[in-house]
Structures are given as structure tokens and as C-alpha cells.
Amino acid sequence: MVFGNGLRALALVTAAALALAMGLIFFYAPLEADQGFVQKIFYLHVPLAIVALCGWVAGGIFGIQLLRTGDRKWDYRSYVAIHMSLIYGVAVLLTGSIWAKASWGHWWVWGEPTLVSFLIVFLLYCTYQPMRFSIADPEKQGRYAAVFAITAGAFVPLNFMAVRLATPLVHPRVFTRVAGDLPGSMRLTWLVSLVAIALLFVTLCKLELTSKSAKDNLRRLRRRLEARDEAAAERAFVGAN
């Protein structure tokens, strides 16, 4: 399994996209009339949340592929997508709390369905790694983790829809058909930011996959070399006697 192909080009494109997004956020997008400068967090927080949720769903899809084909590369992909989404999830919760404090005066609002539902999904996925690594047999580990990823991955869009149907308390619904939509410059900035954050996700996933695959290949190589050494020592012992 080789996961590192095209990593350098992808990293360069990601860096360029992130630089462009930061430039647009701070020097192009106008200040929002209601929240002012604090609204700049929106261009970071919302793409992070969307990409994290998509990553969890992707983890489920890769889990399906593992169960269909039995190919271990899907297990790697499922694990890494979920792992990276957890890291993004931490960033979502922290940036969201900072934004909440700045605009509502509270770090967290327990009555708000959007916040609490994201926390529930995040906590659900926090159980993935302990569950996965409590199983020693790699075959079984992959299959059980895939079942978890599929079940939890199906829960993510359901949860998202339930939140959209619920009445918001304080969290804004920006992309709706009834409320006012984003003006062109803000929309463009947000879209570039979303692409940059998504590219960063893919780049980090590729990096993690490369590291994981390199580690596993090294382990295999070590086992083979040790077996060869043992065989050579045995031959030398038999030859000496």
C-alpha cells in the first residue's frame, strides 16, 4: 500500500489555498453589520465543522468498502478519516466556544441544539479509538471498527437534519431559503475557506496514512529480517555440529 503519491503537490496546493483564504478573510471580505470583526471566526469555524462531519461520514463509507472487499486499505482510510475528524472536532468546539463568548457572552449554551448535537457526535466518536484498540486481532479490529464507523456515520446526517428541523435558540442559520443569504464577497471568501480547509483535511489524512503505512511496512520488514537471522543462526549451529 502506497499512500504518499502526490503528497508534495497536494501540500503545496493546500498551503496556497490557505494563504488565499486568509488573505480574503482579513483583507477582502467586508465586516458584517451585526457582529463586526468577530464574524471573521465564521470563515474558520463553519468549514471546520462541515469538513469534520463529512470526514465522519466518509469514515462510514470506507467502512462499507472494507466489509465489501476485505481490503485493508479501506480500514486505514476509515480510521484516518475518523481520527482526523476528531482533531477537527476539537478545533470546532474550541473556535465555536470562543465565538460564542464573543457574541453571546457565554462559552457554551446548553439549550442550543446545534452545539449540543455536535458535542454528542464528537463524544460518540471519542469512543471509537478505545473500542478499536481494545481488540487485539487486526482482522476483527478492522471489521468491528467498520461496523462502528457505518452506524455512527449514518447517525451524522440524521443528527444534522434533526438540528435543522429544530428551533434555533441563539445559533444562526446562515444557509437557509427563508433567511437572508450571504452577499457575494462573503460567499466567495467562505467557499475558498471551505476548499482550503477541505484540502488541508485531505493532505493531513494522506500524511497520516503515509506514516501509518510506513510504520506497518517497517514492522513487516523487521519480522522478516528477524526470521531470516534466526534461520541463519540455526543453519550455522547445525553446520557447526
The contact set with another protein (CB under 8 A) reads 26-27, 31, 36-38, 40-41, 44-45, 48, 87, 90-91, 94-95, 98-99, 101-102, 200, 204, 207-208, 211, 214-215, 218, 221-222, 225-226, 228-229, 232, 235-236, 239-240
φ and ψ at residue 109, rounded to 5 degrees: -120, 110
The single residue listed with the C-alpha cell 462559552 is 107
Query: CA-CA distance, 238 to 232, in Å (whole number)?
Result: 10
Q: Closest separation between CB of residue 45 and another protein, Å? A: 7
Nearer to another protein, 66 or 77 (CB): 77
Nearer to another protein, 121 or 200 (CB): 200
CB 74 within 8 A of CB 20: no
Nearer to another protein, 74 or 99 (CB): 99
Q: Closest separation between CB of residue 150 and another protein, Å? A: 26
CA 146 vs CA 59, 79, 85, 127: distances in Å: 8, 9, 16, 14
> Which letter does DSSP use for residue 135 in this model?
-
Nearer to another protein, 126 or 162 (CB): 126
Nearer to another protein, 107 or 175 (CB): 107
What three-state secondary structure class fits 176? coil
Q: How far from each other are the two terminal CA atoms of the chain, in whole angstroms?
A: 43
Q: Closest separation between CB of residue 69 and another protein, Å? A: 27
Query: CA-CA distance, 12 to 28, in Å (whole number)?
Result: 23
Q: Closest separation between CB of residue 90 and another protein, Å? A: 7
Q: Closest separation between CB of residue 161 and another protein, Å? A: 27
